[in-house]
Amino acid sequence: MPTAGKLTGAILYAVLAGVLAYLTGPLFDAGRAPGFWYPLCIVAGLLCGWRIMGARVGQGYSIAIGTALTAAGAVVFWALLILSGHTMITRSMRGQYDGPMDALISTFGLMAGYGQQFATPVVVGVLVLGGLIAGLITEAVGSKYH
């Protein structure tokens, strides 16, 4: 059921994810993000804001802080998982893996590599502070219009 908290969470986390996509775009090896990177991040933010942050409003600001960081972490997890899966499929089509298990296992190594590549102080700061601000605003709106 749509609520003000879910809608607010979806919008704010989509904006946060869009900002993070913009900040991480130049950090790719080619100096340019793949075309699907920006929509992927925005959709991940939209879904995590709706399903994680928006679904848990009304429990108080202390709970909202933890939920906000969880939602921000989930955005990063899903964006990196899908990006790594895409990279794995591209490499497997070129025959770079010995078998399906080798390809599947490499996805998690790719996630870790992308995570290290994107973990600059600015990106981490925007992720944490933006996630907290988005979560607290979502809690305020959700509590007021519940």
pLDDT tens per residue across span 105-127:
999 999 999 999 999 999 999 99
Domain count within the chain: 1
The answer for residues whose C-beta is within 8 angstroms of residue 42's C-beta and 6 or more apart is 14, 17, 18, 21
Q: Across residues 89-115, what is the average pLDDT?
A: 94
Confidence (pLDDT) at 31 = 83
Place of tokens 């080798």: 102
Alpha-carbon dihedral 29, 31, 33, 35, rounded to 10 degrees = -120
The answer for residues whose C-beta is within 8 angstroms of residue 107's C-beta and 6 or more apart is 81, 84, 85, 88
Helix axes 37-48, 4-24, angle to 10 degrees: 150
pTM of the model: 0.93
Domain hosting 74: range is 4-144
Confidence (pLDDT) at 19 = 98
User: Is residue 1's pLDDT more than 90?
Assistant: no
Between CA 127 and CA 115 the distance in angstroms is 13
Contact 53, 135 (CB under 8 A): yes
Q: Which residue stretches of the chain are H helix?
A: 4-24, 37-48, 61-93, 100-118, 121-144
User: Is residue 30's pLDDT more than 90?
Assistant: no
